[in-house]
Amino acid sequence: MLTLFHPATGQVQLAGVTRCPNAVLHPWLKQELTTILAPLPPPATSPAATRTQWERWQVGLTRRFTLPKLLPPLRLLLVLDNLAGHKTPDFVLWLVSRGIMPLYTPLGASWLNMAETIQGILAWRALSGQHPQSTDEMVEWFAAVARHWNQAPTPFEWGGKRAARRQRGRQRRHMLGRSGACSRRSVRRTKLEKWPQSCQVTH
């Protein structure tokens, strides 16, 4: 599944394919991004303010790509997996020229990309209890479940109610020493034995 997900609205663009090299992914991604940007009015900012916005999103990155001298207004943040194909000069320059800032998840941390989450949800909905007879059938199911999702999309956010419940649960636990285990109620502690007073000896 080629997947482009907008967390703030929950809208997803999805295409089922039988193979996914960069020659397939990048043209599809460019087409979808162009469609997304078309209705967005470019922000009116000065060149200095524009460069500050771009540089702000490079703060803290271990590897930064060189920003061109002339930058368009920043219009979109694009989170991608940390793959070499997503960092080719042609692809990065195409993104930057259209006001798109590519941001890459750390190695081994694809779970930080919410598109991975929506892929799992839609794949489960499309294939649960089904027995597809061909890849074309699977592609149709993926497209259908994406259309159904977009009729009433669910926005994603970091934290939210689930994180608040986990935080309350942690507050109700009592941490124990050594192993890092915890208990749901406090463990009764015995009083410390009274040690004899210390003595000092001189020679």
pLDDT (tens place) for every residue of the chain, 203 residues total: 899 999 989 999 998 888 888 899 999 999 999 999 999 887 778 889 999 999 999 898 888 888 888 899 999 999 988 888 899 999 999 999 999 999 988 887 777 788 888 888 898 888 888 888 888 888 898 999 999 999 999 888 877 676 777 777 777 777 666 666 777 666 666 555 554 554 444 44
pLDDT of residue 180: 64
Q: Using CB atoms within 10 Å of the CB of residue 115, give its burial: 0 to 12 exposed, 13 to 18 middle, 19+ buried.
A: buried
pLDDT of residue 109: 75
Look-up: residue for tokens 């000065």?
A: 46
pLDDT of residue 200: 42
pLDDT of residue 198: 47
**SS3 at position 129:** coil
Q: What is the DSSP letter of 61?
A: -
* Domain assignments of the chain as residue spans, ordered by start: 2-35+54-151
Strand pairing class (76-80; 100-104): parallel
pTM comes to 0.73
The dotted CATH code for 2-35+54-151 is: 3.30.420.10
